[in-house]
A and B are shown apart, each in its own frame.
Chain A
């Protein structure tokens, strides 16, 4: 079974620039999550999708972050404009609904550095 795919793996941008991350979940996983993991901290949920609908985006900084999941499969997370404090690893995870939160499968992450 192929895992969660993310790209790019690394990105360096200057503050105030824009950046986008892409995630392809495991086939058949209807639930998709984006997490932000700052160095030395645990992942923090940014947004959760069920198919192409948003379930929870309460911790997404909506003034600069946006995410979409067209057709209920791939997802993109965008930051515009980026700030220095956005430097982190952005993790995408997916799960099958109804199986419980513990069955989240994580991708390798995109490491963003904002200079």
Chain B
């Protein structure tokens, strides 16, 4: 069993739709949870970061962590064509222990 599972998609939605991206994990030691966005032929860039359980909102993006279910989500409201990218969840056990465990990524296309 992989430590981090993510549906690879692809996922296609019309512009303006609400997008839900999810990851599950098996290691209860994970404390730090991140979402990275990766455009084609580019390196990943950090989108959202949360510590432990809870929600975090940044503009059109909301990250949720449910440690009891070992489940994290990223919601994108009012999706735009510029949101078309691969979204990778990542997590680590503790700050300073820099080994990030990534999901496989979900490829999202927002259709104008």
Contact = CB atoms under 8 A, between A and B. Distances in A.
Interface residues of A, number: 28
Interface string A2-15: 00100000000000
Max count, chain B CB within 10 A of own CB: residue among A4, A40, A97, A100 = A100
Contacts of A100: 32, 49, 95-96
A42 B101 CA distance: 8
Give the interface residue-count category, chain B. Answer: 20 to 34
A3 to B, nearest CB: 8
Interface of B: 4, 6, 8, 32, 34, 41-46, 49, 88, 90, 92, 95-100, 102-105
Interface of A: 4, 31, 33, 40-45, 48, 55-56, 91, 93, 95, 97-98, 100-109, 111
5 contacts: A31-B98, A42-B6, A43-B100, A102-B34, A109-B41
Nearest 3 Cβ contacts at the A-B interface = A42-B102, A106-B43, A100-B95
Given A106-B45, A109-B41, 15 more contacts: A41-B104, A43-B88, A45-B99, A91-B43, A100-B32, A100-B49, A101-B34, A101-B98, A101-B99, A101-B100, A104-B46, A104-B98, A107-B43, A108-B41, A108-B43
